[in-house]
Chain A
Amino acid sequence: GESVGLHLPTLSVQEGDNSIINCAYSNSASDYFIWYKQESGKGPQFIIDIRSNMDKRQGQRVTVLLNKTVKHLSLQIAATQPGDSAVYFCAEGPILTGGGNKLTFGTGTQLKVEL
């Protein structure tokens, strides 16, 4: 069936560097994508989302890029901090009529920030 997956299971970066986490999706009909961060022992936390009619969206220290041609999604974190250490999931799903979402998550990338 359709799936959402990540290229790299583990990413190690130095504190202060920029991080790039990649994700490939296979459902060409997907029209909404979200990045979640999950710290150990906690539930996923929303970071940023993007609709398929956009190719870039920026938040605070984070940027999501969407390339629909190659069905690729990336999350860029500027000036990575120790608090950014977590597992990052990309997810896709239709926005339910009136809001909310039924998400399909990828496998996750572990981001490790080295001091």
Chain B
Amino acid sequence: DTGVSQDPRHKITKRGQNVTFRCDPISEHNRLYWYRQTLGQGPEFLTYFQNEAQLEKSRLLSDRFSAERPKGSFSTLEIQRTEQGDSAMYLCASSLGRYSIPTGELFFGEGSRLTVL
């Protein structure tokens, strides 16, 4: 499968613990995005990278959240001191950003579901 892959698919943790999610984008895609989705709602933008540079972060991304893409390939999203309100599906997406391909299409992974007890 050459799509976007995310790991783990499910994570249950206790409040106050740290969790880390990993995303492997489609290999030739230089842009990578993180979204958060709660039940019954549409995904909410968190942050995005172009190669290894984090270009934008939503105000939803509190200081407890940090995302990295150190080599411009895979990305990690870490949540420190988790709270019950962090329970959600964390979606990763990637896209190919080239001037010759002016499309906004994002390719999403299947998400990492976080449950904070």
Residues of chain A at the chain B interface (Cβ within 8 Å): 4, 32, 34, 41-46, 49, 89, 91, 93, 95-108
Contact = CB atoms under 8 A, between A and B. Distances in A.
Contact of B31 (A45, A46, A96, A105): A96
A48 to B, nearest CB: 10
Contacts of B95: 99-101
A62 B105 CA distance: 16
A49 B42 contact: no
B106 A101 contact: yes
Nearest to B33: A102
Say what secondary structure dominates the interface of chain B: loop
B47 to A, nearest CB: 10
Contact of A100 (B31, B44, B45, B111): B31
Contacts, number: 82
Nearest to B42: A105
A16 to B, nearest CB: 28
A99 B33 CA distance: 13
The 5 A-B residue pairs with the shortest CB-CB distance in the complex, in nearest-first order:
A105-B42, A43-B108, A101-B104, A100-B95, A100-B31
Contacts of B93: 43
Interface of B: 4, 31, 33, 35, 40-45, 48, 50, 56, 91, 93, 95-99, 101-111
Say what secondary structure dominates the interface of chain A: loop
Contacts of B96: 99-100
Given A91-B42, A102-B45, A108-B40, A49 B97 contact: no
Contact of A43 (B31, B97, B105, B109): B109
A100 B104 contact: yes
Most chain B beta-carbon contacts within 10 A, residue among A46, A89, A91: A46
Contacts of B104: 32, 34, 49, 93, 95-96, 99-101, 103
Given A93-B104, A95-B104, A43 B110 contact: yes
5 contacts: A95-B103, A97-B99, A100-B33, A105-B43, A106-B42
